[in-house]
Structure 1
Amino acid sequence: MGSECPFCVIVAQNDPDVREVYRDEHVVAFFPDEPATLGHVLVIPRSHVPKVWELSDDTATHLTRAVLLLSRAVKHALEPSGLNLIQSNGESATQSVPHLHVHVVPRNEGDAMGRIWPRETSFSEAVKNKAMLDVRHAIEREAHEASVPVTPEDRRKHLDYLQAVVTRQAASSAAAKGWVLPVVTATYGFALTQRAWPLAFLGLLGLLLFAYLDAHYLNTERRFRKLYVIVAQSLRSVPLFTLNPDDADDPVEEDSDGSVNRWQRLKRKYVPGRDIWYSWSIAPFYGALALLGVGVIVAVIWRYGLDAG
């Protein structure tokens, strides 16, 4: 991630003020600028990994060994009465730097950390049982996927399926443009001949609908392309033959009560981002047609009045 990540700067040894205590070919450990307690150490992988579920087994092994080494060192050097190992993922879990890190925090009675767990919660037995079953099923799925090696032939077939979806989305985008151009321009032309600006306004509304459809196709295409790259390069474990682009995304952040934020999930799926709207295939094409429509409306009203049509 380079200079955008402060921890990557430390890994690259470009932070002269860092209090580094350990480094090897896989991990780096250092004191944070504002330690929670004296001896508080951060242990990070040298590779930029944002969250724990993106960690490879090999990197996880090296990170775990380093955490154990640092825990023993802190215990021997400072003789705390206790020690916390804290690893946070996502803003809702108080992760402030998007580079995976483990806090090794020596603890003593009355230190500044205080309690880190609630004294009690109000989850019902039914909710806890459902969560238990969901986690068990997820573990079974992960274990099965880990135990079944993906053959080159399976990967090739998976990539073929994904490429077919990408091609279909691209074709749908082209079809949307193929339909909108004659429909909207004909509506604008009819509005001029009939001297009816509301017809041009209807054309603008139709244009917005086609623009959203096209942006949705492009957004879906990019999400499947991302999944294609992940499968092709084995960047992350995903279900074999999955055609769900959600598998290529980071898990949706949870609400404060631990429930999945459904709005964020729907937004990711159905609301194209700014980069989609500003892309060369959306903004110039639909922007030009929108300006043309506004021009037709202004021209009709200017020449024939607001009551025209």
Structure 2
Amino acid sequence: MPPAECPFCEIVDRSDPDVREVYRDANVVAFFPTDPAVLGHTLVIPRRHVPDIWSLRTEEAAQLSAAVLRLAEAIRAAVVPEGFNIIQSNGAAATQTVSHLHVHLVPRNDADAMGPIWPQETDYSEDRKDDVLNRVKSAVSSLKPVEPEVSPEDRRKHLDYIQAVVTRQSAASASAKGWLLPVVTALFGFALTQHVWLLALLGMFLIAVFAYIDANYLRSEKAYRALYNAVSRSERMVPRFTLDPTDAHEPQCGDAPAAAKWKVLRDKYLPPREVWTSWSIAPFYSAMLLLGVGVAVTAAFTADKAAIPLPHGPTMTTTVVSTVPASPAPVPAQPKSPPP
């Protein structure tokens, strides 16, 4: 059953208005089935679409088990049953009717509607039981070892790595503003002094580009801060030393994203509204853009004034007479007297 058709995924997505929801957190949802076997019968499901127990991740199993224990305690306090069944079925042969892993919490009383759920007796031979025992033990020995719990020292190192990324993102945001100011100041100055409003438009374009870059820095910083909080508060189990901020996100119902590709691209490359309207983005870049509009209008106005021709009066002709001294006339050569 694909996630889009899963009735339990609809409950996770809050798309079922008739559901009797009991509990919800970042990892699981608990609710009453439409037709409970007994009063207090509760289903607990992981938020991610998991068809069966073999598809469940280790951290999800721990989260689901913790929720089952909490809810079993609450149901016992509320209903005060004589007994309690915790049932988890996988496959049609085991009576699983919805292909989304779920755990039944069933408070029991004598002579309730459930009745016995186990056969009275079986007649398997000792050889068959021993054969299955050996096969199961062999399969267990081939399993991967369980990873040890994260030590406080490893958690501290993980937090240090995440904090280093947060610091770099914050520094990059400050650098973006530092690079923008001298460039835009020069463009706006030339636009005013040279009366070229297109330079002001170029400066406004650069402001928009740097605003987008800075907003993405801030979005990334917020994502890593969320990862930091998830690790420090142990809100959910995340991979060891992960630096992928999506590991801090709430699990989605379904392995494949239900959104269209364009929505995935939008979420990946376009910062959300709360980032754009934050104090580090909206006031700074809005003021810069307004300044750019003022510079562009001023440059265009002064350019028009400079292009207006001077008014023409009566035509006056001024004659400038230059007196150039005449060259002296050449003196005729005197004939030489013959010697006496």
Bucket of the pairwise TM-score, normalised by the shorter protein: 0.5 to 0.7
Q: Which amino acid aligns with 1:155?
A: R
CA change 1:19–1:191 in 2 (3 A) is closer
Correspondence for 1:301: 300
CA change 1:101–1:304 in 2 (3 A) is farther
Give 5+ residue unaligned stretches, structure 1. 1-6, 8-17, 73-81, 89-99, 105-142
Q: Distance in 2 between matches of 1:301 and 1:36?
A: 74
What is the deviation of 1:22? 9.2
Q: Distance in 2 between matches of 1:277 and 1:249?
A: 20
What is the deviation of 1:180? 1.0
Give 5+ residue unaligned stretches, structure 2. 1-10, 12-17, 24-28, 50-59, 76-82, 88-94, 107-143, 308-340
Q: Which amino acid aligns with 2:179?
A: W
What is the deviation of 1:269? 3.2
CA change 1:151–1:254 in 2 (3 A) is closer
Q: Deviations over 1:187-206 (max 9, x none)?
A: 11111111111111010111
2:68 to 60, 70, 79: 60
Correspondence for 1:92: none
What is the deviation of 1:166? 0.3
Taking only aligned residues, the RMSD between alpha carbons, in angstroms, comes to 4.7
- Identify the structure with bigger relative contact order (alpha carbons < 8 Å, sequence gap 6+): 2
Q: Which amino acid aligns with 1:186?
A: A
What is the deviation of 1:236? 1.0
TM-score normalised to structure 2 length: 0.52
Q: How does 1:6-155 map to 2 (within 5 A)?
A: 43=42, 55-62=63-70, 84=97, 147-155=147-155
Q: How does 1:153-172 map to 2 (within 5 A)?
A: 153-172=153-172
CA contact (8 A) 1:253 1:260 kept: no
What is the deviation of 1:265? 4.2
Q: Deviations over 1:255-280 (max 9, x none)?
A: 9x987855444433322110000000
Correspondence for 1:213: 213
Q: Distance in 1 between matches of 2:210 and 2:176?
A: 6
What is the deviation of 1:20? 8.0
Q: Which amino acid aligns with 1:169?
A: Q
CA contact (8 A) 2:31 2:42 kept: yes
Q: Which amino acid aligns with 2:66?
A: D
Q: Distance in 2 between matches of 1:158 and 1:269?
A: 25
Structure 2 counterpart SS, 1:272: coil
Matched, 1:232 2:232: yes
Identity across aligned pairs (percent)? 43
